[in-house]
Amino acid sequence: MSMDIVIAGFGTVGQGVAEAIGLRKDMIRETFGREARIVAAFDSRSAIHSEDGLDPAVLLSNKAAGQVGDEPLVDGVAFLESIDYDVLVEVSPTNIETGGAGLHHIRSALSNGRHVVTVNKGPLALAFGELDRLAKENGVEMRYEGSVGGAMPIINLCRESLMGQNITSVMGILNGTCNFILSRMDDGLPFEQALKEAQELGYAETDPSYDINGVDTACKVVILANSVFGIDCDYDDVDVSGITAITEEAVAMASDQNYCIRLIGEISPDRLEVSPRLISKGHPLSVTGTLNVAQVNTDLAGPISISGRGAGRMETASAILSDLLAIMRSNVNNK
């Protein structure tokens, strides 16, 4: 009767998921009348499995002491295919060139009739159409709320709350690193200095190219195009410009006219684009700092905007938790 979960990837987000499931144990039992149990977890080095369920606190202390599991991991797919479970939470490191191990894990889970919850952008940006068909053929769900915008529930908003709307386009700030840099440029800092500050605060990587060249935003554009509009596309279909060419002078000139510059991903049936845009101050897309925000344009309700933290351990874990709860709600008869 329980919903049995495997966590693939036990870094920051994987640990957050274990913690979130532990925190909501009672709430889940009261709401659904059954438990959500972690029955296995693994990363690139080790694995742990118990068909009776694993205590999240033990997983976290194992990891803090060195390794999540006591079995060495040889092959994630072989491990997954050796155990019984209902849902794979796939949060291993992303690789947008090949899809990485995550792509193999997701294919294996869906092919074997297991639901998948993931925030792993590589597999989704490279193979959304294939994975979506695989889920449908096997009668299971693939959910990925946290892959676009972290804690910002843009996908569930479009899917559920805006169900009666025809969505004409989505425009959004989908990368917190770029938004932090552009916000600091609003305050008068040159690009290089704003980037350095972002790196010092841990908002940007040592090699920030993935964020500042718009690659990360483009992956999210692909995911939204596929999931909200049903456009069968991948990374190569997106027109991408980043923020490296934006000067202090351009930001100052925009500001004089009461505008700011933001890196916007735009998705509509005839446009997939990532580019810096002028946004008027006071507009819902003019948020500052590391926030993500998306504006959904609809035929009846007009524009609806949603914002939230685009990254962070518990923020991303909570998006995964909401997907797990949605699967529990719509699959009352699991097992």
Pick 20 or 142: Cβ nearer a second copy: 20
**DSSP 8-state assignment for residue 159:** I
Least distance (Å) from a second copy to the CB of residue 70? Answer: 30
The reply on whether position 322 binds a second copy by CB under 8 A is yes
Binding test (CB under 8 A) with a second copy, winner from 11, 12, 22, 24? 24
Least distance (Å) from a second copy to the CB of residue 257? Answer: 14
The reply on whether position 321 binds a second copy by CB under 8 A is yes
Least distance (Å) from a second copy to the CB of residue 332? Answer: 13
- CA 238 vs. chain centroid, Å, equals 18
Bridge partner residues of 264 (DSSP)? 275
- CA 323 vs. chain centroid, Å, equals 11
Binding test (CB under 8 A) with a second copy, winner from 169, 268, 275, 286? 286
Distance between CA 93 and CA 133 in Å, rounded? 24
Active-site residue set: 220
CB 76 within 8 A of CB 93: no
Neighbour tally for 245: CB within 10 Å? 9
**DSSP 8-state assignment for residue 93:** P
Least distance (Å) from a second copy to the CB of residue 95? Answer: 26
The residue written with tokens 């959910």 in the block is 143
**What radius of gyration, in Å, describes the C-alpha atoms of the chain?**
20
Binding test (CB under 8 A) with a second copy, winner from 169, 283, 331, 334? 283
CA distances from 117 to 178, 182, 209 (A): 26, 32, 27
Pick 156 or 213: Cβ nearer a second copy: 156
Binding test (CB under 8 A) with a second copy, winner from 67, 132, 314, 331? 314
Among candidates 182, 158, 164, 162, which has minimal Cα distance to 292?
182
Q: Tell which positions 169-188 bind a second copy, by CB under 8 A.
A: 183, 186
**Per CB under 8 A, which region of 59-67, 96-104, 122-130, 145-153 contacts a second copy?**
145-153
The reply on whether position 287 binds a second copy by CB under 8 A is yes
Distance between CA 266 and CA 35 in Å, rounded? 40
Binding test (CB under 8 A) with a second copy, winner from 67, 161, 244, 255? 161
Least distance (Å) from a second copy to the CB of residue 253? Answer: 18
The reply on whether position 302 binds a second copy by CB under 8 A is yes
For a second copy (CB under 8 A), the number of binding residues is 49
- 3-class SS of residue 97: coil
The reply on whether position 301 binds a second copy by CB under 8 A is yes
CB 262 within 8 A of CB 182: yes
The reply on whether position 65 binds a second copy by CB under 8 A is no
CA distances from 101 to 8, 77, 123, 213, 266 (A): 10, 9, 9, 25, 29
Chain positions contacting a second copy, by CB under 8 A: 20, 23-24, 27, 151-153, 156-157, 160-165, 183, 186, 281-284, 286-289, 291, 293, 298, 300-309, 312, 314-315, 317-319, 321-322, 324-326
